[in-house]
Structure 1
Amino acid sequence: MEHSILSLEAIVPKSLMTRLAGLRGVMIFCLAGLLVFNLVLQPVAAELASPPPQAGVVVDGRILFKLGDIDGFTAESRANLANNLLQQAIQDADVDQPIPVTIVQRDELTTIRIKNRHLLTVTKGEVMMGVTASEQAEEWVAVLRKSLRQAQQERRPNYYREVMGKALIALSVTIALITAMQWLRRWWSRQWTRRFGQLSYRRRLLLLLLLCLQYGLGLACLFYICELFPRARIGRYRVFWFLGEIFSNPLLTVGGSAYSLLDVTKLILLTGALVLASRSLTAIVKSRVLQTLVPDRGMQDAIATVMQFGLTGLGLFILLQAWGIDLRALAIFASVLGVGLGFGLQNIANNFISGWILLIERPVQVGDFIKLGDLMGTVERIGPRSTEIRTPDRVSIIVPNAELVESRVVNWSHHHPVSRLHLPLGVAYGSSIELVHKAVIEAAQAHPEVLRHPQPRLRFLGFGDSSLDFDLMVWLRDPRHQFDLKSDVYYLLEANLNRYQIEIPFPQRDLNLRTPELQSMMANLPVVDRPVAESVVEPTHKNLLADVRHYSAILQTPKSVTEDEIGQLIQQMRGPEGVSIQDRRFRLTVHPKCFVGSEAVTWIVDTQKATREAAVQIGQLLVELGIVHHVTDEHAFRDEYLFYRFYDDEM
């Protein structure tokens, strides 16, 4: 009776949230920049540096209204003439006498004069619908009189003393607020870092908003101070006019449409925001959906990479179409790019295609322990062009993807991370084979990372020149630990072989002497009685523990599963830290006091130092001994979502 449960809960890891916090901060910065361009620079550019046929009439940095083209005069020349006359009238006028501005009707033309000098003519193109030229002239005259009167007031001797106090107060308040927010931001950052260890996304966003508020207050204060002083206001106008000219003038033409620097900048910002948004969305989907539905980390990365490229390409296609760029106009560029890829960029293209092959076929996945030539390490990241491998010395090496596809790669973690390690050794001739086997297996089983199932084996390879050659085979769960494990096991072997007084040989040569004089001298030497070697005392496991206690806790496993071990295993499984035994429902049937086969296999693997295959064999042994059984007796013990129950828990 098979059953599967899909959990809908997904908790985003803290490391991922930290990475996304920085990513989203950059995206917020780009969007804020785009908002500034749309709300500030573009309206200012439209007002201050409008392309023909309109140009603005300005008094002390304030645009009053705009003029258009007429026969023989452009809008810019008309505006420049009017601005010069206004500026000259302000400089020559008495601050206590208003500047006369009048309207003159002549030959169906409405003109505005200042100090009896012609200022401008109101044309039909400058009149709004439903308004006559005379009415438009009266409105402009009212605006001119008010602006000229304000300009005269701002040039009085005591005006600067009046506004200087306002400017100092505004500057002092702004500096105090910025300093307070800076101190608050740093205090919050220290307190949160000290309390939580790392800043969450919400706290990072709050600190970013405080920083943006500081800069906003500074810009607002500068804008207010410039508004108080005429010369500063004129300088501000010229700066915005210069920026408007730069950003508004056509920069390039694509498909018959002209695009300014402002348009290109907005397109670049939107493209960057699109890339960051696709990355953030992909990371969220990977953490909340893929980690639940797809347990394989390599498949998660492959799906996330394909999703990110698909979203970016689709969004860029929609963005260019909405921007009015005809993609057919980019055909020539695509052709040139194809030629470049064929000649100058063939290695990059090869690595890029190899990266997609690695993501689709997945011969190498993130987290695998591999060997590529002389390089050995763990795969940390598989990118579009290169792969990052972290060596056991914690050194990151960037390898082109083409090498992983075209070269021979040894992957210890492919499909199954459990692997067998071979440790060759030799003992002296005359050693007891049974004693050697006992000493070596004891030393191997003493290491905690050596799996108990399958058990270590000692293979007799043959008779060497100076030794009896053996091959010790042990199983380990994580191949990345093979070097440390090999060293530790050799330490244990040396200590245990010495305890059993088993000699580890070295190359020897026999010398046969055929000189008669030397033979006679050797025969006359007195015989010295040598002490007889003490009998080999079989060590105990307690003595072995005393020699290797500085390595790790020692676990001794007998060659076969005994009744005592089965009793201990059952007691552990039914204990508080054992498998989860509870009532479980499948469809309309409730099965009381049962456990899941796959959960039991995982528990045996974690607690009994076994592979999953050996754990299934142990579970099947419990079934054959009549200790557990399938709830409906339809299946043997399997590593699947099947319900099993102890016979002791039967109703």
Structure 2
Amino acid sequence: MWHKKLFLIVLAIAVTGFILVTNTFPGLTQAKYGPRAIEDLPIRSNPTVLQAPVVIDGRELFSVGKIGNTSAGERVSLIRDELLKAIRNDVVPQVTIEQREGLSVVYLVYPQSPSGLAKNSNSNPIEERRYLFTVTQEDTIGRKSIRETAEDLKTQIEQAMAIAKKERSPAYLKRQGIISAALLLFGLLASRLLTQLQTYPLRRAIQRIIPGLPSNASSQPSNLTTLFRLKLGLAQFILWTTITLVIFRLLPATRHWLYYLYNLIASSFAISIFNLGGKDFSIIRLLILIGLVVGAIFLSNYIANLLRTNVLEATRMTRGSQEIISIITKYGLIAFSTVILLQANGIDLSSLALIGSALGVGIGFGFQDIARNFASGIVLLFERSIQVGDFIQIGQHLGVVEEVRTRSIILKTLDRISIIVPNSRLLSDEVINWNHRHSVVRLHLPIGVAYGSDVKKVKSALLQAASEHLEVLRNPAPQVFFTGFGESSLDFELLIWTSDPSRQAPLMSDLCFRIEEIFQAQQIDIPFPQRDINLKMEDMPIKLPPKLEGHLLYLLQGLIAQQYNGKANQDSSNTTPTSKS
């Protein structure tokens, strides 16, 4: 941040110095400030153009055309030089028009100074006339004649010279300098406020800028998002850009320099950078074409969404069919509008064959995964094996298809987590689609009961639990199968049908709760694994060999004796009397 503050300080010092150095006495006398190099910058114009503008102090006065071998730009340069000399001169010239051979010739007439009149008192006063330009048919405005155009141009030149002389007066420069300083001060305060808003709320930020305001010590720094901080930074950039442009337009020299910069940038952007299909494309034309294509893409997307939400939903079509029609409509409109825009800009589509072949090679090497996913998305759209709203399982992911795109699908799991799955994986891997062609599926719930339970009572209890649940279909009816004899239980399996596969987890949980409740009411036990251990008591107690038995007895006696001796030594140390002093 230090370099920004340094720049602002230097800019403020420069404006203040400009105000102090400039002659502050009022009047119309021109101020002798600075070099005239900025003011004399030529405005570049293309020599092939038919007309070019005459610019004084960054303002366009009028335009002149080409005469014979003299280009419009050369005529503008001569006219502008004469006007600048007249503006810088202390004597205000008069603009006169003379008619010669049906053309109007414009002159600048300078009256002779009083000293010159005193020296030539015996002779007639001599006026200095300087040729400005000749008004031709190429210079006429609209349907006016050459004489009417010359009169209009005379009025414009007189007004422009009066304004230019006034803008060079010390009073005007002083006023504009004060305005510039006020704008810089406002920019500093506003920039400081925006900087504080990145850390503190509005009230606290104002208190940190303006001293003396009552502050709230309990206010804490605000937690702003990165996007909001970027917006504040963009606001600072726009603020200083606007202030800089306004200050540059306050003074004639800087205004002319700004116009020169605009003209240079515009001429650079207007230069042809490449040729396609016999048409020259400049940067501006290319940007306009790209903007129109981007606008067509956004408009196509809006029309497709409008078609899906307002038209297709009213037809009660499936979400998958709606998605297919909207995608085809969107890409069809994009392709159609792109072709129309290219044709309107004079681009022959046959000339794009080389570019298409190069793109094909690039896709084959660098974008083969994208191309594979795109082709897989087209296959899925027309095959309709996976549609929006289907409940699918791919790998370990189980969820509902939220969106089918040309490159991938959006799968929302039961945990409400969105997973982006490439379309090529849907064609290469095994995918379980619970909603393919119909949404009615059968679920399996295994149940085990203890040996000795009444199997008919178990079957009745399971069917009762299934029939009481609202999400279990009555047709096909639930079924109970006795699957076999397990290690610890009699194994059964409850088969139920449901029309919403995405609800299978809560459905199975509800059934388990209800089955356990019915089993407890009917005293049906659910077993757990059991193991029986049988021990033979024939060899108990264990008989040891005599020699081993003797060694063990010897070790045992030694341990007992060692423990007894240690205890006796400890008791004797505790009963020893202390000596008297």
TM-score past 0.5 threshold:
yes
Which secondary structure state, in structure 1, belongs to the residue aligned with residue 409 of structure 2?
Answer: strand
Which secondary structure state, in structure 2, belongs to the residue aligned with residue 77 of structure 1?
Answer: helix
Tell me if the contact between 2:44 and 2:73 (Cα under 8 Å) persists in the aligned partners: no
Residue equivalent to 2:371: 349
Tell me if the contact between 2:271 and 2:282 (Cα under 8 Å) persists in the aligned partners: yes
Tell me if the contact between 1:55 and 1:75 (Cα under 8 Å) persists in the aligned partners: yes
User: For each residue in 1:388-436, what CA deviation from the matched residue of structure 2 results, as whole angstroms up to 9, or x when unmatched?
Assistant: 1111122211111111123221111223222221011211221110121
Residue equivalent to 2:64: 67
Pick from 421, 426, 430 the counterpart of residue 404 of structure 1. Answer: 426
Pick from 55, 60, 68 the counterpart of residue 58 of structure 1. Answer: 55
Which secondary structure state, in structure 2, belongs to the residue aligned with residue 474 of structure 1?
Answer: strand
CA drift at 1:58: 1.3
User: For each residue in 1:311-362, what CA deviation from the matched residue of structure 2 results, as whole angstroms up to 9, or x when unmatched?
Assistant: 1111111111112222222111111112222333222222111111111111
Pick from 421, 429, 452 the counterpart of residue 451 of structure 2. Answer: 429
1:377-456 equivalences under 5 Å are 377-456=399-478
CA drift at 1:245: 2.1
User: Structure 2: which 5+ runs fail to align?
Assistant: 1-42, 111-128, 185-237, 541-581
Residue equivalent to 1:99: 93
User: For each residue in 1:482-524, what CA deviation from the matched residue of structure 2 results, as whole angstroms up to 9, or x when unmatched?
Assistant: 1232233223333432333322233445556665578xxxxxx
Alpha-carbon spacing, 1:228–1:510, altered in 2? closer, same or farther (3 Å): closer
Determine the C-alpha separation between the residues in 2 that align with 1:482 and 1:374.
16
Q: Report the TM-score when normalising by structure 2.
A: 0.64
Determine the C-alpha separation between the residues in 2 that align with 1:480 and 1:49.
71
Residue equivalent to 1:80: 77
Determine the C-alpha separation between the residues in 2 that align with 1:348 and 1:443.
51
Structure 1 counterpart of 2:48, one-letter code? P
1:105-504 equivalences under 5 Å are 111-114=105-108, 115=110, 116-122=129-135, 125-126=138-139, 136-159=149-172, 230-231=252-253, 233-234=255-256, 237-504=259-526
Determine the C-alpha separation between the residues in 2 that align with 1:228 and 1:358.
63
User: For each residue in 1:137-186, what CA deviation from the matched residue of structure 2 results, as whole angstroms up to 9, or x when unmatched?
Assistant: 45433321222123223334444678899999999xxxxxxxxxxxxxxx
CA drift at 1:75: 2.8
User: For each residue in 1:284-333, what CA deviation from the matched residue of structure 2 results, as whole angstroms up to 9, or x when unmatched?
Assistant: 22222211225211001001100111111111111111122222221111
Tell me if the contact between 2:45 and 2:73 (Cα under 8 Å) persists in the aligned partners: no
Which secondary structure state, in structure 2, belongs to the residue aligned with residue 101 of structure 1?
Answer: strand
CA drift at 1:233: 4.5
CA drift at 1:376: 1.4
CA drift at 1:134: 6.1
CA drift at 1:135: 5.9
Which secondary structure state, in structure 2, belongs to the residue aligned with residue 363 of structure 1?
Answer: coil
Structure 2 counterpart of 1:98, one-letter code? V
Tell me if the contact between 2:98 and 2:105 (Cα under 8 Å) persists in the aligned partners: yes
Which secondary structure state, in structure 2, belongs to the residue aligned with residue 76 of structure 1?
Answer: helix
Determine the C-alpha separation between the residues in 1 that align with 2:329 and 2:529.
62
When structure 1 is superposed on structure 2, of 382-391 and 149-158 the one drifting more is: 149-158
Tell me if the contact between 1:417 and 1:478 (Cα under 8 Å) persists in the aligned partners: yes
CA drift at 1:67: 2.9
User: For each residue in 1:566-612, what CA deviation from the matched residue of structure 2 results, as whole angstroms up to 9, or x when unmatched?
Assistant: xxxxxxxxxxxxxxxxxxxxxxxxxxxxxxxxxxxxxxxxxxxxxxx
Structure 1 counterpart of 2:328, one-letter code? V
Quote the RMSD (CA, aligned, Å).
3.9
1:568-579 equivalences under 5 Å are none
Structure 2 counterpart of 1:296, one-letter code? T
When structure 1 is superposed on structure 2, of 76-85 and 455-464 the one drifting more is: 76-85
Determine the C-alpha separation between the residues in 2 that align with 1:485 and 1:430.
29
User: For each residue in 1:32-56, what CA deviation from the matched residue of structure 2 results, as whole angstroms up to 9, or x when unmatched?
Assistant: xxxxxxxxxxxxxxx9967732321
CA drift at 1:363: 0.7
CA drift at 1:123: 5.0
**Could you say which structure has the greater relative contact order, defined with CA pairs below 8 angstroms and 6 or more residues apart?**
1
Determine the C-alpha separation between the residues in 2 that align with 1:68 and 1:283.
52
Determine the C-alpha separation between the residues in 1 that align with 2:536 and 2:166.
131
Alpha-carbon spacing, 1:515–1:497, altered in 2? closer, same or farther (3 Å): same
Tell me if the contact between 1:99 and 1:148 (Cα under 8 Å) persists in the aligned partners: no
